[in-house]
Amino acid sequence: MTRTVTTRRLTGLKPTGEPHLGILLGAIQPMVRDQYTSDATVFLADLHALTAAHEPRTLRETTLRHATVLLAAGLDPDRTVFYVQSQVPDHAELHFLLERTAARGRAAYPVLQASDILLHDTAEVPVGADQRPRVALTRDIAMRFNQRYGPTFVVPEPVTPTVAARVMDLANPTVKMGQTTSSASGAIGLLDPPALVTRKLSRAVTETDGIIAYDPAARPGVSNLLEILAACVGGTPVEIGTALRGYGDLRRATTEAVLGLLGPLRARFETLARDPGYVRQVLAEGAERARSRTAETVFRAKRAIGVLA
């Protein structure tokens, strides 16, 4: 397999909660598209999920569920190095070395994230605005380390994800989907049955004057539906808005588009979920591929620091 572009990109996803439409449109789809044009690595950051109070069995199940969803959504483990963080101990080892040497007084979580990124000689990290400070800290740690111990790490750049579909909560369209726990009706679960998806969209909050215009600040409800529709069918929210006749039309078109997108994903999920051994096997092979790269980075870091490598 030849890769057209070799820029190495890394994405980490925390496997918590139920995967929803916002994650599919905002993160998973860009990731699936990117895997054909970049050297892509995707991992499930289960070690990052340990900080919050959690039920051990639930974490394990949720991690496997997220992995299955990603594969069902089209992540191709032949294209993308795809694995679970805890299955590559180099994350923990580099984290330890960076905590000791380059990150005095920093909170553990961001330093672990820096280790994730530096382990892979990552050139680009696709992140939303909320994660940019994390990449900035990673750059800082990498530059200090390189200055102090000699060239060891690639200094990564944050990049804006290809499709910046910002999907908001259907019941409260001024907050991102998945961020409120108060409104179960505001998030569309990727595995929700079609009748439930239809019901949630039929109740999505809109403005009340009947005007269809894409203006997220002034018209968050309608703009969110336009954004979802555009991300599902292609095109821009503005363009798509001009072809619609009213809110009924907008809801119908959005419902149809979302059902069309989720139907095949659900079917593939159900097939894969019947064979968890296969998913585990894919992850084990991914971890193996990752390790051959990350072991080399840890070796370099140890040698640079001066411990016997």
Nearer to ligand TRP, 41 or 255 (CB): 41
When asked if residue 14 is in the footprint of ligand TRP (CB under 6 A), the reply is yes
Tell which one of 45, 103, 228, 262 touches ligand TRP (CB under 6 A).
Answer: 45
How many chain residues interact with ligand TRP (CB under 6 A)? 11
* Beta carbon of residue 241, minimum distance to ligand TRP (angstroms, whole number): 30
* Beta carbon of residue 92, minimum distance to ligand TRP (angstroms, whole number): 13
What mask of x and - would describe binding to ligand TRP in positions 106 to 125, judged by CB under 6 A?
A: -------x--xx-------x
Nearer to ligand TRP, 14 or 106 (CB): 14
Q: Which region among 4-12, 30-38, 179-187, 258-266 touches ligand TRP (by CB under 6 A)? A: 4-12
What mask of x and - would describe binding to ligand TRP in positions 129 to 168, judged by CB under 6 A?
A: --x-------------------------------------
Give yes or no for a contact between 83 and 299, defined as CB atoms under 8 angstroms apart: no
* Beta carbon of residue 212, minimum distance to ligand TRP (angstroms, whole number): 33
Nearer to ligand TRP, 155 or 273 (CB): 155
Shortest CA distance to 254 belongs to which of 164, 128, 167? 167
Q: Are strands 157-159 and 39-44 parallel, antiparallel or unpaired?
A: unpaired
Q: Are strands 124-126 and 81-84 parallel, antiparallel or unpaired?
A: unpaired
Tell which one of 8, 9, 20, 48 touches ligand TRP (CB under 6 A).
Answer: 48
Look at the alpha carbons of 106, 109, 112, 116 in this order and tell me if their dihedral is positive or negative. Answer: negative
Q: For the chain, what's the residue count?
A: 309
Nearer to ligand TRP, 106 or 268 (CB): 106
- Sorted by sequence, the CB contacts under 8 Å of residue 302 that are 6+ apart come out as 97, 308, 309
When asked if residue 9 is in the footprint of ligand TRP (CB under 6 A), the reply is no
Q: Is residue 280 classed as helix, strand or coil in its secondary structure?
A: helix
- Residue holding tokens 């051990």? 56
- Residue 32: both structure tokens together: 């699936």
- Structural element, H or E, at residue 43: strand 39-44
Alpha-carbon distances, residue 249 vs 96, 241, 275 (angstroms): 55, 10, 40
List residues near ligand TRP by CB under 6 A.
10-12, 14, 45, 48, 113, 116-117, 125, 131
